Structure 1
Amino acid sequence: MMKMIDHVCAATVEYIDHMPKSKRKKYGQFFTSKETAVFMAGLFSIPEGCTSLSILDPGAGSGILSVALLERLESNAEIDSIELVCYENDSNIVDLLRSNLEWVCNHTTKKVSFRIVTDNYILSQMLEYNGMLGASPDTDKFDMIIGNPPYMKIAKDAPEATAMPDVCYGAPNLYFLFAAMSMFNLKVDGEMVYIIPRSWTSGAYFKQFRKRFFEEGALEHIHLFVSRDKVFEKESVLQETIIIKAKKTQSKPNTITITTTQSNADFSNRTVFEAPYSTVVNGDESYVYLVTNTEEVQTLNELNRWTDTLPDIGLKMKTGLTVDFRNREALRDSAETDAVPLFYSQHIQDGKVIFPAGKEHEYIVTEQRGLLQENTNYLFVKRFTAKEEHRRLQCGVYLARKHPEYTEISTQNKINFISGLRELSECVVYGLYVLFNSTLYDSYYRILNGSTQVNSTEINSMPVPPMNTIEAMGKELIRVRDMSEATCDNILRSYI
């Protein structure tokens, strides 16, 4: 007999072939592969002695995830009846979803009833979510929720964003609104399994979401894909994607299971690592540190012994001030009256800041105060690096005394800079270089953030030693006169 999931996948492939991606993109619609759906369905724990289950699929598409879960429940003798609710408001695919579910109901041994809701998943529950209808009855809650939510940025004043004010900051993405609503839709001790981008695990945009999510539930399993372009292989989605399993509970487990595979095609060949829960979900920001082995846990534990951050010791990483293409008329290729240096990532070379470097537009003439900063000491850090580069954190020491002819300078917005160093000795700049040029800090940042962009918010949340220790590290670096990563590692190790 044909497997239910195979029938649905074949019907979905036909739909994809006839529906242009541009149309599906309007709904943030990307389809889960069969292998991924089967793996996700397998993550649920089926409660012992349970005869009936309620399941929610909040962005059902063609029903691949729902059917993968129904297929899994087929082999469970105790489960007798299943109630399935699917939300789908793309009119193009609702007929396919309905015919798939009807086909499955005719080919299952269980008593399955399904309901398709064509309302907007977020807006239709706005009143319940915000507690405007009093206590929500338990009948609206589910044992299991399985989801591949839409990946789509929306405006900060979009109806979905204003419907969930407690988790929104800036311009949100629909995927994490779906995840927050699904946690709300779970029964106590119910479980949700989602495939979503990893961007929510750190940064200020997602802080409110993480806070609410971890107040209501706990992560139990995270699955990572080594190759980010292999998750939606037929879809060419270049998004760092993970699978999470969370439980609606107040009690946190001791460990989280973290699994890894190369792609979404073969889940049998996966690495499995049990990480301490307190290492993975850490601190006031509730950042999620995606550790995959003991060395990475050790990196976090070693650096987290320090309790200060850059802002705690009077320093701050900021993003470069000048967006060059928006200020073309102010750019100059060579020094002239009133021109000041404009620093780019190309000026960061072997731990130093080299100027001039003979690149175009490396000077700027402007009256705009917002594009100028004091010519004082800084640590410059590149904002963008290539995925395959050895280091994510690449920095250079900038010393104001090397350019005494300028009172002000500017920085292009593709570099970051650490400010607050004016009254401090040059040793502090070199000490910061020791930290940010070390293997440990580079590893820490990669665990914290999967993208190739170095964000100032995350850097400002990383632990740093006390100021006198940073200064001592800098003195040591100046003494040995070697800016290499190995030297920085040796100096840092002697203080841990």
Structure 2
Amino acid sequence: MSETKEELVLIESIDQTRLEISPTLDPKRRSKLGQFMTPGRIASFMGDMFDELPEHVRLLDAGAGMGALTAAFVTKALSRNAKPKSIDVTCYEVDDQLATILDETLAACAERCAAEGVKFTSEVIRDDYVLHSAEPLLHQNRTFNCAILNPPYGKINQASEWRLALRSLGIETVNLYTAFVAVALGQMEDGGELVAITPRSFCNGSYYEPFRRLLLAGSAISALHVFESRRSSFKDDDVLQENMIFRVRKGGTQDDVLLSTDQTEARVVPFTEIVRPNDRHAFIRLPVVGDGLAARVQALPCTLADLRIKVSTGRVVDFRATEHLRKDPGDDTVPLIYPQHFHDGGIRWPIPDFRKHNALADCADTESLITPAGIYVLTKRFSAKEEKRRLVASIYDGGRAGFENHLNYFHENGAGLSIDLARGLAAFLNSEAVDQYFRIFSGHTQVNATDLRNLHYPNREQLEALGRGETTVEDLF
């Protein structure tokens, strides 16, 4: 649905204010609060995502900022043929400077509604949304039938007041953005719709599994919209998390999902392609490209357990082993391997004038950090969607070494692999099919050991034949 010029005025006005105010905000406070203001075009898109609106809208905008999302919702609601009879908005904003602008936005919304004969009421709660919602009785008494969110992004520490507040609500999660969505869902009435823009990181990984289960058990996913990167959707802010918008219906019956991207038209996808029925981790997959190859990876016969191979995260956390790090190797050191040592499928070590460290002291204090001599397949834990490959594998073939924590390494019960198996495994992991698989279901810039354990693999004989050059990657599918 397209807006008229008159309808765009309110959204454009707020967007202009965002561009002026955002650079003036205290960067440390913004980082602490996870503040990323919603650009006007994205707010408008989100406001248009709702299905048929109730006659009497009770809208939640948690972490409302300057009110761009509420303004977009109101603008879109008033442009519909079947306008609501009333709109009651509850906004949460903890930042006083933004809350003052939010008041002005809501006043403008009230004027627009009055001109259309729609009753408008609003309340701004100048408080932390999670902490306020956890206060006795508040969580039970607030019921909304619409919610629109651009929640803050920030990790929640185990001992933080946020974690304690969430536990009082029966919610276990590790980031503010999933916390906001979880609390909002708890405050929605059955049949109510929630539209949120968040990072994609909740889609997989063990840390977000409790949130995924809460989301999937209590609501039905009706639409998913994927951005190329959060940098493109929030290009005015220094944000790198990959981003998506989703619409869910509280207590709804799960049906097919409308899947779109900022570069492709929406298409209907069976829910079983989004969450596979036999996936014990409830990963949320986003099959936007390369669907055929990724499906063939998923159909491969083996897990790592079947192959008798294990994958672990590198043991050396450099800032915890500072006194044992060495710039250059010596008689009393072992190689220390970082992602920067990857080179053409192997390891280039040492690196002259390396800004990090090439070696780890070989002593009693570091014994538990050192991996036995052998052949290992190493993968980078961190990558970006814009990189040529999401998963990058190299082979280490050498003596005892320390693998830095930004690496995963494949091994057999702590010992190295055979050369044929290592070569075949590395070739498989570096393949286009595996790359597309990770781009579909991996929602963040990490490739964790858990992700690699849940990947499907060819059998051991096929990998060894690939390593000997007797077959090709294409023959595996």
TM-score by length of 2: 0.86
Task: Give, in angstroms, the shift of residue 328 of structure 1.
Answer: 5.1
User: Separation in 1 of the partners of 2:73 and 2:25?
Assistant: 26
Letter in 1 for 2:125: V
Tell me the residue number matched to 1:86. Answer: 91
2:187 corresponds to 1:194: no
User: Separation in 2 of the partners of 1:457 and 1:442?
Assistant: 16
Aligned partners of 1:427 and 1:471 also within 8 Å:
no
User: Separation in 2 of the partners of 1:430 and 1:29?
Assistant: 45
Worse-matched range after superposition: 378-387 or 280-289 = 378-387
Tell me the residue number matched to 2:335. Answer: 341
Tell me the residue number matched to 1:383. Answer: 381
CA deviation map 1:279-299 (0-9, x unaligned): 112312121212213xx3323
What does 1:18-97 align with in structure 2 at a 5 Å threshold? 19-47=25-53, 50-76=54-80, 77-97=82-102
Aligned partners of 1:431 and 1:470 also within 8 Å:
no
- Give the match's secondary structure for 2:234: coil
Worse-matched range after superposition: 278-287 or 298-307 = 298-307
Task: Give, in angstroms, the shift of residue 389 of structure 1.
Answer: 3.7
- Give the match's secondary structure for 2:266: strand
Return closer, same or farther for 1:4/1:333 CA change in 2, 3 Å cut-off: closer
Return closer, same or farther for 1:55/1:125 CA change in 2, 3 Å cut-off: same
- Give the match's secondary structure for 1:106: helix
User: RMSD in angstroms over aligned alpha carbons?
Assistant: 2.9
User: Separation in 2 of the partners of 1:475 and 1:7?
Assistant: 63
What does 1:324-473 align with in structure 2 at a 5 Å threshold? 324=318, 326-327=321-322, 329-331=324-326, 333-336=328-331, 338-353=332-347, 361-364=357-360, 365-367=362-364, 368-385=366-383, 388-399=386-397, 403=398, 406=399, 408-420=400-412, 422=415, 425-465=418-458, 469-473=459-463
Worse-matched range after superposition: 196-205 or 310-319 = 310-319
Tell me the residue number matched to 1:156. Answer: 158
User: Separation in 2 of the partners of 1:389 and 1:15?
Assistant: 32
Letter in 2 for 1:120: D
- Give the match's secondary structure for 1:107: helix
- Give the match's secondary structure for 2:163: helix
2:102 corresponds to 1:119: no
Tell me the residue number matched to 2:271. Answer: 277
Choose the corresponding residue for 1:99, options 93, 101, 104.
104
User: Separation in 1 of the partners of 2:239 and 2:387?
Assistant: 21
CA deviation map 1:251-309 (0-9, x unaligned): 2112x2222226xxxxxxx532332211112312121212213xx33233222224653
- Give the match's secondary structure for 2:255: coil
Task: Give, in angstroms, the shift of residue 350 of structure 1.
Answer: 3.4
User: Separation in 1 of the partners of 2:16 and 2:95?
Assistant: 20
Aligned partners of 2:90 and 2:122 also within 8 Å:
yes
Letter in 2 for 1:374: P
User: Separation in 2 of the partners of 1:478 and 1:417?
Assistant: 21
CA deviation map 1:351-399 (0-9, x unaligned): 3446667786544323222211222332122334565442232223345
User: Separation in 1 of the partners of 2:453 and 2:419?
Assistant: 21
Worse-matched range after superposition: 423-432 or 284-293 = 423-432
Letter in 1 for 2:274: V
What does 1:465-484 align with in structure 2 at a 5 Å threshold? 465=458, 469-480=459-470
Tell me the residue number matched to 1:489. Answer: 473
Aligned partners of 1:59 and 1:150 also within 8 Å:
yes
Task: Give, in angstroms, the shift of residue 196 of structure 1.
Answer: 0.9
CA deviation map 1:291-335 (0-9, x unaligned): 213xx3323322222465324544222122223464354436345
Aligned residues: 457
Tell me the residue number matched to 2:144. Answer: 142
Choose the corresponding residue for 2:283, options 279, 284, 287.
287
Letter in 2 for 1:205: Y
Aligned partners of 1:273 and 1:292 also within 8 Å:
no
Letter in 1 for 2:98: I
**Kindly, what percent of the aligned residue pairs are identical?**
29
User: Separation in 2 of the partners of 1:477 and 1:11?
Assistant: 58
Return closer, same or farther for 1:242/1:370 CA change in 2, 3 Å cut-off: same
User: Separation in 2 of the partners of 1:303 and 1:315?
Assistant: 18
Aligned partners of 2:311 and 2:453 also within 8 Å:
yes
What does 1:253-272 align with in structure 2 at a 5 Å threshold? 253-254=255-256, 256-261=257-262, 270-272=264-266
- Give the match's secondary structure for 1:271: coil
User: Separation in 1 of the partners of 2:226 and 2:37?
Assistant: 18
Aligned partners of 2:224 and 2:260 also within 8 Å:
yes
CA deviation map 1:433-464 (0-9, x unaligned): 24212221121122222544432221122122
- Give the match's secondary structure for 1:213: helix
CA deviation map 1:166-196 (0-9, x unaligned): 5435xx2211100111111211121111111
- Give the match's secondary structure for 1:214: helix
Unaligned runs of 5+ in 1: 263-269, 481-486
User: Separation in 1 of the partners of 2:179 and 2:218?
Assistant: 15
Letter in 2 for 1:56: L
Return closer, same or farther for 1:459/1:167 CA change in 2, 3 Å cut-off: farther
Choose the corresponding residue for 1:236, options 229, 233, 238.
238
Aligned partners of 1:215 and 1:250 also within 8 Å:
no
Unaligned runs of 5+ in 2: 1-5
TM-score by length of 1: 0.83
User: Separation in 2 of the partners of 1:118 and 1:355?
Assistant: 55
Letter in 2 for 1:492: L
User: Separation in 2 of the partners of 1:362 and 1:78?
Assistant: 66
Letter in 1 for 2:70: S
- Give the match's secondary structure for 1:433: helix
Aligned partners of 2:224 and 2:244 also within 8 Å:
yes
Worse-matched range after superposition: 140-149 or 232-241 = 232-241
Aligned partners of 1:431 and 1:471 also within 8 Å:
no
Return closer, same or farther for 1:115/1:346 CA change in 2, 3 Å cut-off: closer
Return closer, same or farther for 1:121/1:228 CA change in 2, 3 Å cut-off: closer
User: Separation in 1 of the partners of 2:150 and 2:353?
Assistant: 46
CA deviation map 1:59-88 (0-9, x unaligned): 111211111111111133452112211112
- Give the match's secondary structure for 1:396: strand
Tell me the residue number matched to 2:3. Answer: none
